[in-house]
Amino acid sequence: MQKEILGCTKCRLAESRTQAVPGVGPQNTQLVIIGEAPGRQEDLQGEPFVGAAGQLLTKMLENAGIKRETVFITNTVKCRPPENRQPFADEREACYPYLLRQLDLIQPKVIALVGRVPAETILETTIRMGTMHGKTMERLGRTYFVMFHPAAGLYNQNLVPDMEADMHVLKRLLDEGTAFGPEKSQQDLSRFF
């Protein structure tokens, strides 16, 4: 699928990207994290969450006892929108089949939706992050966990304690098996693509 995404021209974001960013991490994982879209650094480096927001995400994962390299991380759309605008509905729709195929292949125990864009795209409902963050939702046999996007914590430090608390809830979900789905070993760190 990586080659397909890297060569994809299904929406206008192909025209302005440096490269598509399919996602990174092991296929055999309990946790998939889905953000909004690649930013400038991600577009340049070809990996999701490598800028300042990504560094905060990595730190919060590690503080909660989750090693970033055991998580598959991707975005709702695989190409950077110009000027970091939000991806338009038709762009999200065009890219959605890739995300579904990734989730079908991985079958994670929990899918963390970081930010309103992935949450609204996948849950197909209006999301108020102030009340929905830290909550688990089950849909079509999958368990989703809604979280603030780490960029929100960079802009508003007051959100960081809530974000850290949510990360610990996520760790408990992974540990306690309260989410449903096949048990997955985190030992196999073979790369996804």
Positions touching ligand SF4 (CB under 6 A) are 5, 8-11, 13-14, 20, 77-79, 91, 94-95
Query: Least distance from C-beta 95 to ligand SF4, angstroms?
Result: 3
**β strands within 14-104, DSSP E:** 31-35, 72-75
| 90 versus 138: smaller Cβ distance to ligand SF4 | 90
What separation in angstroms does the CA of 76 have from each of 33, 108, 126, 145, 151? 10, 16, 16, 15, 16
| 47 versus 162: smaller Cβ distance to ligand SF4 | 47
Q: Give SS3 for 46.
A: coil
Query: Least distance from C-beta 55 to ligand SF4, angstroms?
Result: 24
157 Cβ contact list (under 8 Å, min separation 6) = none
Query: Least distance from C-beta 100 to ligand SF4, angstroms?
Result: 12
Number of H helices, E strands in the chain: 9, 5
Query: Least distance from C-beta 108 to ligand SF4, angstroms?
Result: 21
32's tokens: 């998939």
| 78 versus 184: smaller Cβ distance to ligand SF4 | 78
Query: Least distance from C-beta 21 to ligand SF4, angstroms?
Result: 9
| 42 versus 91: smaller Cβ distance to ligand SF4 | 91
What secondary structure, in 3-state letters, does 135-150 show?
Answer: CEEEECCEEEEEECCH
Angle between helical axes of 116-123 and 89-106 (0-180°, round to 10): 80
| 8 versus 174: smaller Cβ distance to ligand SF4 | 8
